[in-house]
């Protein structure tokens, strides 16, 4: 369904946007990009990651794109679309890479022109580094891609997002409502980041670094976090995340009570349960 | 100071005890073992991991040992020493591998014969599997070894433990009081295990396994846990661990409040702090 001679425009050529560009070029597509920073565009052109690029919101580039992928942070994307939608080619298909879907997809769909379509999607891939220089299309080969259709989407739009995921070689493609997506991500991703950050912040234990082994390092690796992006993601999914933190704290307090009163049978049951559940997550 | 013709006795030939035996044999020492399970002893003899072995608490083997290493769980070790100390060779040097030192080292030193010496130590190494069949002396090469002297110990005893660590090739050898050790281990190891177990137990999220990535897997790997050993370790270090859980929950609640009221500056400051601190733990 994605036309072989269709033109892709990537808006925001960072780590993820750049990885999309590389993957699409590999498949033979024409790829344009708009991104702040002349260095980013120059690098991408020199390395044949894109065919054309601009640092400005160029109406000509925008108007030529059949498919637009937004590699921007949520609020920046919403503002960008509001500012530039008058330039979109009629029939253009749009998607994003945001880690939260409620309060993002619905906002865009509310004000979007009727003759173009925005389908939310979330590539669950990343790296500890940023920028187009570190982009790498192979990060998608082991990753999940989630499409989040709403009542504003058509079969064509949903098909576009799923075909895009397959073109890029994602390991697994799934479809969830934005609500289901955000509940899932609140647990799997956001709660884990909140836990890692809080472990690191509990007290200044950097003097203990010579005593830490792999367990502590594994649990805190994601405490190195982009403060601008994650503040946005946490606030956009506030309700789910606060609930997940409450549930987790209740469970930890339950464990603590069993330690405090030396409830041997009770604590062993918790260990057996966590062991059983975790085994199901082994690949 | 460890005599080249000295005889080592390992009591409890599991993963750690077996790894000590292999490392000591590699250095040319004579190694005996006492362990429940004929299979364990047969395997160790057939594979030249030990020179002599018994499944019973054999007074002759015990009486010949210059150096005894206990690879038992804490309570089992305390009981074993109480039962068998009359067989110890005068001047014998004893050490252990327990993950908690208060309530263990002091108990043994309280009732131990005056003509032998027990020096507490903790090899911070492990594997997800157990048993002598999985023993592997190379796990020590990247690990910390902590010696925990008390007023009952002599220079000779402390020197023995440190030399043992160097013989086995530990990466780093440190000395802490039992109190310092247990406070450190309450944070670095026990709190992280309590967090991982509670994350896994918060709700039955095994249906989410197709959506989980490396972050979630990293944070919950240690939720697969030996319930008998860890119940003992948690109870023995109850006071420190309960305090660590309280401090961690307070920090997580602090983060939650900043999410709930969308305190952007406040949450960014927490992310920046966790990022700065975690960077210091990168090897």
**pLDDT tens digits, residue range A103-147?**
999 999 999 999 999 999 999 998 888 999 999 999 999 999 999
Q: Is A278 on the interface with B (CB under 8 A)?
A: yes
Q: Is A79 on the interface with B (CB under 8 A)?
A: no
List the single residue in A144, A197, A274 with the smallest CB-CB distance to B223. A274
Which domains, and CATH codes, for chain B?
7-176 (3.40.50.720), 181-279 (1.10.3660.10)
User: What is the reported pLDDT for B212?
Assistant: 80
Question: Token match 């020199």: residue?
Answer: A46
Distance between CA atoms of B120 and A145, rounded to whole angstroms? Answer: 51
Provide the pLDDT confidence category of residue B4 given band limits of 50, 70 and 90: very high
**Percentage of residues in chain B having pLDDT higher than 90:** 92
**B270 CB burial (10 A radius; 0-12, 13-18, 19+):** buried
Distance between CA atoms of A68 and A147, rounded to whole angstroms? Answer: 15
Question: Token match 């000509």: residue?
Answer: A60
Stated pTM of the model: 0.92
pLDDT in tens, B209-250: 888 878 899 999 999 999 999 999 999 999 999 999 999 999
**Percentage of residues in chain B having pLDDT higher than 70:** 100
CB contact under 8 A, B259 and A280: no
User: What is the reported pLDDT for B115?
Assistant: 98
CB contact under 8 A, B234 and A275: no
The strand pair at A7-11 and A30-34 is best described as parallel
- A262 to chain B: closest CA residue: B235
Q: Is B210 on the interface with A (CB under 8 A)?
A: yes
CB A61 within 8 A of CB A9: yes
Distance between CA atoms of A196 and A200, rounded to whole angstroms? Answer: 6
Distance between CA atoms of A255 and A269, rounded to whole angstroms? Answer: 10
Query: Which residues of A are less than 8 Å from B121 in CB distance?
Result: none
pLDDT < 70 stretches in chain A:
283
Sign (positive or negative) of CA dihedral A249, A250, A251, A257? positive
Token couple for B8: 């080592």
Residue B216 C-alpha, separation from nearest chain A C-alpha, in angstroms: 6
User: What is the reported pLDDT for B205?
Assistant: 82
Question: Token match 């039955």: residue?
Answer: B204
Query: Which residues of B are less than 8 Å from A246 in CB distance?
Result: 256
Q: What is the DSSP letter of A145?
A: E
Neighbours of B14 (CB within 10 A): 21
CB B119 within 8 A of CB B149: yes
């Amino acid at each position: 369904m994605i036309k072989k001679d269709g033109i892709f425009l990537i808006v925001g050529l960072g780590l993820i946007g750049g990885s999309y560009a590389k993957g699409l070029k590999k498949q033979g597509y024409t790829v344009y990009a708009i991104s702040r920073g002349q260095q980013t565009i120059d690098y991408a052109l020199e390395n044949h990651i894109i065919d054309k690029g601009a640092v400005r919101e160029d109406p000509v580039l925008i108007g030529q794109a059949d498919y637009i992928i937004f590699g921007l942070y949520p609020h920046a994307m919403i503002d960008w679309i509001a500012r530039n939608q008058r330039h979109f080619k009629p029939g253009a298909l749009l998607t994003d890479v945001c880690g939260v879907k409620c309060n993002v997809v619905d906002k865009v769909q509310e004000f979007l022109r009727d003759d173009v379509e925005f389908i939310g999607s979330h590539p669950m891939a990343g790296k500890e580094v940023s920028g187009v220089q570190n982009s790498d299309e192979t990060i998608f080969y082991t990753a999940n891609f989630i499409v989040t259709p709403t009542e504003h989407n058509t079969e064509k739009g949903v098909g576009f997002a799923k075909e895009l995921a397959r073109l890029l070689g994602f390991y697994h493609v799934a479809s969830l409502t934005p609500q289901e997506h955000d509940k899932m991500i609140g647990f799997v991703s956001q709660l884990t980041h909140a836990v890692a950050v809080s472990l690191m912040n509990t007290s200044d234990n950097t003097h203990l670094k010579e005593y830490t082994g792999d367990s502590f390092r594994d649990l805190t690796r994601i405490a190195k976090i982009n403060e601008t992006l994650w503040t946005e993601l946490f606030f956009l999914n506030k309700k789910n995340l606060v609930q997940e933190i409450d549930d987790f704290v209740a469970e930890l307090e339950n464990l603590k009570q069993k330690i405090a009163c030396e409830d041997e049978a009770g604590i062993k049951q918790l260990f057996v349960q966590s062991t059983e559940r975790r085994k199901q997550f082994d690949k």
